[in-house]
Amino acid sequence: MALKKIKTAIFISGTGSNLKNLFKFSLTKKSPIIISFVVTNNEDAKGIIFSKKNNIESKIYKYFNKSNAENKILKDLNKKKIDLICLAGFMKILSKSFIKKFKGKILNIHPSLLPKYKGLNTHKRAIENKDKFSGCTVHLVSSKLDSGKIILQKKVKINKNDNHITLKKKVLKQEHFIYPIAIKKLLSNP
């Protein structure tokens, strides 16, 4: 009998490279997810073009009023029977009440080895602090920014000649590697 795949929404704001990666993963036999919906706050997000090309329903939500935007998103998620949310470069902070409604079912990928460098400009901060390693973290989303339970991390060595752009590329490659593994890990130990 085929595995029943969990309906998943991906939240993006930019290029959608993690969306593309998770979509590829979702098509594999061993994947526990099916990507049913893409949410963005940015009408110029390149990930929207990708979702349209691949027949994934997507919607742009204007964030003039956070609670209105979130209520519309929640309504659509419920209508589509979404059971898992994967944040993939979504540049909006979700409210406590939104998180509560999907408690334990929102994952985020963050481009640092949390708890180090929560928030933005992680690569630049790691280089300025002369860190030897950076990396990425997949974690459950809690009401505190980048503070939920860590599911998986991957270290990346920072070389002397790295700058924030080269480091970003190296970390992104590892994000693509660990996000699917973290999803499998979360869904096999609910």
- What are the catalytic residues? 110
Taking 3-state DSSP, the helix, strand and coil percentages for the chain, each rounded to the nearest 5, stand at 35, 25, 40
What is the secondary structure of 19-69 as a DSSP string? HHHHHHHHTSTT--EEEEEEEES-TT-HHHHHHHHTT-EEEE---SSHHHH
Rounded distance, CA 24 to CA 4, Å? Answer: 17
Rounded distance, CA 74 to CA 152, Å? Answer: 27
User: Could you tell me the two tokens for 157?
Assistant: 């060595």
User: Could you tell me the two tokens for 189?
Assistant: 């130990």
End-to-end CA distance of the chain: 21
Long-range contacts of residues 129-132, Cβ cutoff 8 Å, at least 24 apart: 131/158, 132/157, 132/158
Tokens 């060595």, residue?
A: 157
